[in-house]
Amino acid sequence: MTIAVITIDGPSASGKGTVAARVARLLGFAYLDSGALYRLTALHAKRGGVGWDDEASVAALARALPAEFRDDAVFLAGECVEAEIRSEEIGMGASAIAALPAVRAALLERQRAYRQAPGLVTDGRDMGSVVFPDATLKVFLTAGADVRADRRYKQLISKGDSANLPRILQDIHERDARDAARTVAPLRQEPDARLLDTSDMTVDAAVESVLAWYREALASGH
């Protein structure tokens, strides 16, 4: 019996992680934040003095990454690094190493191992295109760059962090361009993915859309 997978791909700061986590909780499925694996690898490399452009060394770290996901937090070698991996610096590092083919290959099987009964909801850039091409439902979740920048700005401010809205918007444009242009698993909407533009949607409405599409997929015998 095939284990159900819902993939939610999309650009940076689109809110796909929030939607994916809530859908997983409502369905009782496991949740994989694939971006966290890249962020953890970037942090691990930084702490070890490994340059983010050193493909072979970063890939070696990715293969043996001491990562854990538990209690709604992310751990590296037993240390909770949830706040640290969400920083803008580590986000840029994750985007840089995600363009390296050897790093993506190192993390591929690791991601597929999260597919366990009763099901999995995962978010990222290439979950539906590369990691789980046979997913039960594929969603491409996006929002306008201005909207995403504003959401990211408010998120940082709510945490007490300093934030510069024009700088965040510039970073988002740069990351979008880099993610779309890379030769390995570029960010794009797959032909069989449902488009969900959340620019004018609440989180609840976005979650309900995904759940409705999932029910449709099951009814159609996917």
Name the one residue in this structure whose structure tokens are 């796909």: 16
Distance CA 132, CA 193 (A): 12
Annotated ligand binding at 34? The verdict is: no
User: Which residue, among 105, 80, 84, 82, has the nearest Cα to 93 in the 3D structure?
Assistant: 84
Closest CA to 106 of 79, 131, 74, 133: 131
Q: Is 11 annotated as a binding residue?
A: yes
Q: Is 12 annotated as a binding residue?
A: yes
- Would the annotation count 17 as a binding residue? yes
- Judge whether 66 is annotated as a binding position: no
16 annotated as a binding-site residue: yes
Residue 13 labeled ligand binder: yes
Question: Is 18 labeled as ligand-binding?
Answer: yes
Annotated binding site for ATP: 10-18
Annotated binding site: 10-18
